[in-house]
Amino acid sequence: MSGSYSRIVGTGAYLPAKILTNKDLERMVDTSDEWIYARTGIRQRHIAADEEQTSDLALAASRTALATAGIDAADLDLVVVATTTPDMVFPSTACILQAKLGARNCPAFDMQAVCSGFVYGLATADQFIRSGQYRNALVVGAEIYSRILDWNDRATCVLFGDGAGAVVLQRSNKPGIISSHLHADGAHVDMLSVPGTVSGGKVSGRPFVQMDGQSVFKFAVKVLDEVAKEALTANHIEKSEIDWLIPHQANIRIIQATARKLGISMEKVVATVDRHANTSAASIPLALDEAVRDGRIRAGQHVLLEGVGGGFTWGAVLVRW
C-alpha cells in the first residue's frame, strides 16, 4: 500500500455551554478567584449538561474533525476514544460514538491512560496506519470530570473541566506524525486516582478524584521535560526547531516550568488552561484545534504534543504539520 506515514488532516473540538467561573466556585466552596488563578492559571471551566454523555461531547468534536478532513464517517477504518469518564462500564464509549457517527464495522475501542490518553491514542492509531492496515482513523479525547469531583474538596474541584477534542489521521506519503514516545510507571498509582469501584450494585471505595498535588507537580515537570528531550534526541531536532509546544493543560505553573526546563519561550506554547481548566484526555486536542483554527499552526511547522496523567503515564508525539 502506498504511504507509510499518518498525517492529521482534520481537527475538531467541543466545549459544553455551561461555564463555571472561579467567582461561581467562591459561592460553593472555601476558595477565591485570586487563590485559584495564582496557583493554577485557571479562570473558568466548562461543565456538561445533565443530559450530556461523554459520547455526546466526542460526537460533536468528531463531526467537526471529519468535516474539516473532508471525509465521511463511513470512510473510517478505526475509532479510538481516550477517556477516563466513559458513558458506562461497557460497552466502550468508542463503540457508542461509532454508532452515533454511523461508522459501522470498523474497530473501535477506548484508551485509558488518563491525561496521557490522547497521546497514547494518537500513537496507537499512527501505528495501525503505518502498518498499512488502515487509511483513516479518528482519535478523540473526551471527558466529563465534573461527575467524578467532590465539589466540597477545594483542592481538586477547582482544577478540572469537561470537553472533547478530536483529530482525523490519514495515511500519507509524507511525514505527519514523526515519532511517539510512551511511558508508564504503576509504582505511582496512589499519587493521582479515583479509587472507587462498582461491586454488587454498589459503589465501593471513594469515587472521586484524589491527588497528592505537590508530588504530582514535581513528577509532571520531571517527566514532561524528559520525554520532550527524548523526542527531540530521537529525531535529531534542536529545541529551537520546535514551533509549538502543546502540553497537557493541567496547571499553568507546570506548563511554565516545563517550557523553562526545555528552554522554549512561552510564546511558543499553546495554553488554554485559563479557559478550559484540566480536561484530562481532551486537553491536548482542544488546544491543538484552537491553535490550528486561529492560524498559529501552519504547514511545515514542528508541533510537540506531550501529556502526563494518573497511572502514572506520560508520553510525547512529534508532528510535522
> How far, in Å, CA of 139 to CA of 58, rounded?
10
Residues 6+ apart with CB under 8 A from 239: 232, 262, 263, 264
Type of residue numbered 56: D
145, 279 Cβ separation under 8 angstroms: yes
Phi-psi region of 174 (alpha: psi -120 to 50; beta: other; left: phi over 0): beta
Angle between helices 213-234 and 252-262 (to 10 degrees): 40
3 state DSSP class of 28: coil
Give yes or no: 157 in active site.
no
Q: Which three cell numbers stand for residue 81?
A: 476514544
> 274: buried, middle or exposed (CB in 10 Å: 19+, 13-18, 0-12)?
middle
146, 48 Cβ separation under 8 angstroms: yes
Query: Among 22, 136, 251, 278, which one carries the catalytic annotation?
Result: 278
CA torsion sign for 21, 26, 31, 33 is positive
43, 58 Cβ separation under 8 angstroms: no
Listed residue (55, 42, 64, 50) closest to 18, CA to CA: 50
Query: Among 46, 106, 136, 248, which one carries the catalytic annotation?
Result: 248
Query: Among 46, 95, 106, 115, which one carries the catalytic annotation?
Result: 115
Give yes or no: 278 in active site.
yes
3 state DSSP class of 92: coil
Give yes or no: 95 in active site.
no
Cβ atoms < 10 Å from Cβ of 202: 7
Q: What is the 3-state secondary structure (H, E, C) of 136-181?
A: EEEEEEEEEHHHHCCCCCCCCCCCECEEEEEEEEEEECCCCEEEEE
> How far, in Å, CA of 221 to CA of 277, rounded?
18
**So which residues are the catalytic ones?**
115, 248, 278
